[in-house]
Amino acid sequence: MQRKTLVYSLLAIFFSAILIFTSACQGNKGTGAQILRVNLAGEPAQVDPNQASWAAEKSVVSQVFVGLLGFNQDLTLRADVAKEIPTVANKDISADGLTITFKLRTNVTWSDGQKVTAKDFVYSIKRELDPDLACAYASFYYDIVGAEAYNSATGKTAADKTALANAVGVSAPDDYTLQIKLNDPQPTMVECMALWPVYPIREDIITKYGDKWTDPPNYIGDGPYLLTEWVHQDHMTFKPNPNYWGTKPKRAEIDFLMITDANAALAAYQNNELDIVGVPPGTEKTFLNDKTYDDQRSLFNDLTTFAFQFNVTKAPFDNKLVRQALSCAIDRDAFINSVRSGIGKAAVSWIPPGMPGYNASIGTQYAFNVTQAKALLAQAGYSDVSKLPQITFSYSNTAGNTTIAQFLQGQMQQNLGINIILDPEESKTFSTNVNSGKFMWAWFGWGADYPDPDDWLPGLFGTGAGNNHTQYSNPAFDTLSATALKEQDNTKRLADWDQAQKMVMDDAPIVTIFYRERFNLVKTWVKGLKTTGMDGQVIGDTFYNEVYITK
Amino acid sequence: MTRFVIRRVLWLILVLLVVSFITFSLMHLVPGGPWDRDKQLAPQVVAALNAKYGLDKPFYVQYGNFLLGLLHGDLGISYSYQDRSVTQILMQGFPKTAVLGTTAFILALLVGITFGMAAALRQNTWIDYVCVMFSTIFASVPGFVLGILLIIVFSVILHWFPTGGWGSPSQIVMPAIALAALPAAFMARITRASTLETMRQDYVRTARSKGLLERVVLIRHILRNSLIPVVTIAGPEFAALVTGSVIVETIFSIPGIGRLFVQGIFARDYGLIMGTVLFYAFVIAIANLVVDILYGVIDPRIRYE
């Protein structure tokens, strides 16, 4: 009898507790007036600017730090901590292009009040190159004197490492002057100094806190926001920096939520828990056509191009004509409409619109044209397509990629009568195989690290270059690249790259398919959002200090 | 009984060693490493990363270092979350997963056993049919379908609960339901079957013929005896719930450890994989041990030497 009453009363308490709690906590969290809530879609691995390499990390770092230079919405450079952008004209770049001098503003402060000086940049650049830290973007700064030697010093003694660090060509002749010496002139080094790996870092904070320096109270930056709270895998909160030296932000707080499932994030947006959300793949048509979302759509060019890459050492792709033929056999407009639900632009050239180097007339000779495709194949000796060796198309087995692969298979069959085998692979296995050349034809994408053809051509198409998986090798391209990298006359430089891009598209080691667009929904009460091609994981994150909420 | 427990604990250590060795080997045999990505890192950076994390050492040295670290209670470092050690990650995430898992477990137990017994006692009535139908449905509906359905109905349409996250009790309700659905269905079916069998036993008939109240027969005789199969599955079920479900945690954005294992494998995060595998193995082994001890409590016929 006692046991039964006990059981019943326990049950009663349990259920009534649930009812009380749920009714007390009804409603949505955080519909406070001046909070911008966005979804980071996952926990960043770490938020140390020197070590950051993923888009999510970049989004966090760019709220808390400001560097020498930044990017405007049109992707031109803007002087932030630096007083002016170094050019040959204002003598901040030496005539031979080997010395770059940055003059810093004197009113820039860290969030704890101390002044930002050139020492902070020297420390940061050397830390970026420190072999013990193994920073992903270190190789972008190898043109600095002594940088590559220092970064490659992994096995050496501590004394050797210190000597190499001291030999790196960055110095601070005085508190507000930063001098960088290069091995060869590289006009785009100025642009690389606008990137996050060389944001200023406080040496005393790192020495004092070590690995714990990125935890909220210690995470000192010179940017418009402070990271006030980080509940791992749940959310990050940013409040405005009261000591910010620049224009004060208009709104109070940013919350980065970490909802990993795209559909759950969309549900959160619809439940007013998020102010900006990415449209999940597969639902694009609904949101494009639904009138209720007319003033909530945000669609803009990402600086990303997707292509199919050939392994030009494997038959039949060692024959240029076959590659060109396959490029002519793919209906890119159909791809955009059926596979991408109309989001994105068809691509026949490599460098995407929105950045210097984009040329809409490149590659048009290999646009969709089935007759030309067949003619090229015949010229290559394959008028009977059954003579072609078996073609295998590899890709990483995400749901989106499967649709793309099936589309390609359909196009090959429909337009040329070629049967290709699809080879889906697990993500990292796919990366490993591509990087070691174990593929014939693979899916491939590239996003800009910085908006310049420098970042899009030599590293991908130079002989033996790090990201050259196609094994493409063209001595004329290599010579042209070498000249263009050092060319200080910007017009001539871009003309050189244009020619280089033409060479590549003509030789067709890749078949470009589309330029990506980012499709997001933004609540109507979010004002002042500025999206750019250099945004990180969340759109508009480089200009959050101009966003405000009207409710 | 103490000798039994000690023996089991020793077996536990051996099992953990074997599990760790197999996992370690498999991890390194699988193609692809933690630094492989579509935008290849410069070879000097890869060399520096391998040196930093000791990945350039021979296999047995790496495994040896891992075991040594284990003796000091250090489960290693994670490459996906570089500012915390694996132990810290597990300690931060486990309480949340455990609370969610325990809530789901209690819910599954209460609902499962209650309905299972009710169905058995009222066999072939509408209660029975409804119970069997629901248990079949919830055993078949995949977790992610149920989760998204709950979000759409209760968050987006009705605005009763937030869509996910952690912190307030209202955020536990939907994930607990999504998580408890399958175990509840199984427990209902097993309770029903076991109760039906117990009801037919001679001692139940004797108890009734003695004139005992039906309620007393139910609780003192039928309930305890029919629970043995339920306890058998409840133990591993609890272990599975407490170690988290990657699907429910992903859909409801619960910052627990359920996702860590799968994420770790996809990222080739060796430290995280080893840490979570050992943690899971430990929890499951302990859960099985508790179940075995409980047998002794429930069924006096079972004795261990």
Closest residue, chain A, to B110 (C-alpha):
A11
* A540: region left, alpha or beta (phi > 0 left; psi from -120 to 50 alpha): left
Is B165 in Cβ contact with A257 (below 8 Å)?
Answer: yes
Q: Is the pLDDT score of A94 beyond 90?
A: yes
Rounded to an integer, what is the distance from CA A343 to the centroid of its chain? Answer: 19
**Contact call for residues B305 and B111 (beta carbons, < 8 A):** no
pLDDT at B147 exceeding the cut of 80: yes
Cβ contact, residue pair B45, A467, below 8 Å: no
In this complex, which of A26, A45, A427 lies closest to B266 when CB atoms are compared? A427
Chain B nearest-CA residue for A150: B44
| Contact between A419 and B23 (Cβ < 8 Å) | no
Nearest to B156 among A260, A267, A446 (CB): A267
CA pair distance B97, B162, nearest whole angstrom: 18
Whether the pLDDT of residue A172 is over 90: the answer is yes
Instruction: Round to whole Å and give the CA distance between B278 and B86.
Output: 11
A193 pLDDT higher than 80: yes
Determine the residue of chain A that is closest to B85 in CA distance.
A211
Among A267, A285, A269, A288, CA closest to A277: A269
The pLDDT, as a whole number, for residue A25 is 42
Residues with Cβ within 8 Å of residue B147, at least 6 apart in sequence = B174, B175, B178, B247, B248, B251, B252
Whether the predicted pLDDT of B33 surpasses 80: yes
CA angle A345, A410, A517 (to 5 degrees): 15
B46 to chain A: closest CA residue: A134
Q: Smallest CA–CA separation between A3 and chain B, in Å?
A: 9
Which of B38, B41, B151 is nearest residue A445 as measured by Cβ atoms?
B38
Q: Is the pLDDT of residue A21 over 90?
A: no
Flag if B253 and A259 touch (Cβ within 8 Å).
Answer: yes
Tell me the chain A residues in contact with residue B161 when contact means C-beta distances shorter than 8 Å.
22
> Identity (one letter) of the amino acid at B246?
V
Higher pLDDT, A238 or B211: A238
Tokens representing residue B84 in the block: 């915390």
Q: Could you say which of A139, A154, A270 has the minimum Cβ distance to residue B42?
A: A139
Report the complex ipTM. 0.84
A242, containing H or E segment: none
Identity of the residue in A212, A271, A444 whose CB atom sits nearest the CB atom of B155: A271
Contacting residues of A for B84, CB less than 8 Å apart? 232
Strands A345-346 and A77-79, by their bridges, are: unpaired
pLDDT of residue A22: 46
Residues 6+ apart with CB under 8 A from A54: A44, A45, A537
d(CA A32, CA A36): 9
CB contact under 8 A, B164 and A433: no
pLDDT at A137: 94
Which residue has tokens 């004329």? A476
Q: Kindly identify which residue of chain B lies nearest to residue A425, measuring between CA atoms.
A: B31
For Cα atoms B185, B188, B190, give the angle at the middle one, nearest 5 degrees: 110
How far does the CA of residue B87 sit from the closest CA of chain A (Å)? Answer: 14
| A171 CB neighbour count, 10 Å cutoff | 13
CA B117 – CA B123 distance, rounded (Å): 9
Interface touch B165/A232, C-beta < 8 Å: no
Please give, rounded to a whole number of angstroms, the shortest distance from the CA of A18 to a CA of chain B.
8
Interchain pair B168, A29: CB under 8 A: yes
CA distance A481 to chain B (A): 19
- Taking an 8 Å cut-off on Cβ atoms, the answer to whether B162 and A257 are in contact is no
Residue A10 has pLDDT above 70, yes or no: no
Chains A–B, number of C-beta pairs less than 8 Å apart:
168
**Contact assignment for B110 to A155 by CB distance below 8 Å:** no
CB contact under 8 A, A268 and B163: yes
Distance CA(A263)–CA(A278), nearest Å, equals 10
The dihedral sign for the CA sequence A429, A410, A315, A476: negative
- In percent, the amount of chain A with pLDDT more than 70 equals 93
Strands of A281-412 (E only): list them. 297-310, 345-346, 391-396
Region B119-146: mean pLDDT is 90
- pLDDT tens digit string along A250-266? 767 999 999 988 999 99
Residue B13 has pLDDT above 50, yes or no: yes
Beta carbons of A45 and B82 less than 8 Å apart: yes
Mutate to test the interface with A, among B26, B28, B30, B40 (most CBs of A within 10 A): B40
**pLDDT band per the 50, 70, 90 thresholds, residue B208:** confident
pLDDT of amino acid A26: 41
Alpha-carbon distances of B136 from A454, B125, B133, B140, B142, rounded to whole Å: 60, 17, 5, 6, 12
> Residue A114: is its pLDDT beyond 90?
yes
Of the pLDDT bands very low, low, confident and very high (cuts 50, 70, 90), residue A29 is very low
Burial of B101 (0-12, 13-18, 19+ CB in 10 A): buried
Q: Do the chains contact at B33 and A428, CB–CB below 8 Å?
A: yes
Nearest to A50 by CA among A183, A182, A203: A203
Q: A261 and B250 in contact by Cβ < 8 A?
A: yes
Residue in B156, B253, B254, B273 to test binding to A, most A beta-carbons within 10 Å: B253
Q: Which chain B residues are closer than 8 Å to A14 by Cβ? A: 106, 110
- Tokens coding B242: 């407490």
pLDDT of residue A4: 61
| Range with lowest mean pLDDT among A168-177, B93-102, B235-244 | B235-244
Distance from CA of A273 to the nearest CA of B (A): 8
Q: What Cα–Cα distance (Å) separates residue A307 from each residue in A349, A395, A445, A517, B155?
A: 10, 12, 6, 15, 40
Question: What is d(CA A88, CA A541) in angstroms, rounded to the nearest whole number?
Answer: 31
Taking alpha carbons only, the member of A409, A374, A385 closest to residue A316 is A385
CA distance B299 to chain A (A): 19
Instruction: Answer left, alpha or beta for residue A261, where phi above 0 means left and psi between -120 and 50 means alpha.
Output: beta
Q: Residue A151 is nearest to which of B44, B152, B259, comparing CB atoms?
A: B44
Please report where in the chains the tokens 């013929």 appear, as a residue. B209
Range from A2-6, A103-107, A152-156, A208-212 carrying the lowest mean pLDDT:
A2-6
Is A71 a residue whose pLDDT tops 90?
yes
Q: Which of the residues A232, A233, A303, A439 would you substitute to probe the B interface, choosing the one with the greatest number of B C-beta atoms within 10 Å?
A: A233
Tokens describing residue A308 = 């199919």
CA neighbor of A236 nearest in space, from A65, A60, A62: A60
pLDDT confidence band for A273 (50 / 70 / 90): very high
**Distances in whole angstroms, Cα of residue A295 to Cα of each of A36, A299, A340, A463, B109:** 18, 12, 21, 48, 48
Which chain B positions have a beta carbon within 8 Å of A466's beta carbon? 40, 42-43
Q: How close, in Å, is residue A197 to chain B by CA atoms? A: 14
Rounded-to-integer distance, Cα B260 and Cα B79, Å: 12
Say which range, A261-265, A425-429, B76-80, has the weakest mean pLDDT. Answer: B76-80
Contacts of A270 in chain B (CB under 8 A): 156
Query: How many angstroms away from the CA of A45 is the closest CA of chain B?
Result: 4
Whether the CA torsion A339, A343, A347, A352 is positive or negative: it is negative
Closest to A428 (Cβ–Cβ): which among B32, B42, B155?
A: B32
Q: Is the pLDDT of residue A136 over 70?
A: yes
State CA B27 to chain mean position distance: 23
Which of B31, B42, B255 is opposite residue A233, by nearest beta carbon? B255
Q: Tell me if B36 and A426 make a contact (CB, 8 A cut-off).
A: no
pTM: 0.87
Q: Which residue of B has its CA nearest to A128?
A: B45
Nearest CB partner across the interface for B47, out of A154, A263, A446 = A154
A134 contacts on B by Cβ (under 8 Å):
45, 48-49, 51-52
**Confidence band for A33, pLDDT divided at 50, 70 and 90:** low
Query: Closest partner residue to B148 among A22, A257, A263, by Cβ?
Result: A263
DSSP string covering A79-123, please?
A: ESSBSS---TTTTSB-TTS-EEEEEBPS--B-TTSPBP-HHHHHH
Task: Identify the closest residue of chain A to B163 by CA–CA distance.
Answer: A268
Torsion of CA B187, B193, B196, B201, to 10 degrees: -110
Peptide bond into B162 cis (omega under 30): no
Among A154, A164, A230, A258, most B C-beta atoms within 10 A, so best to mutate, is A154
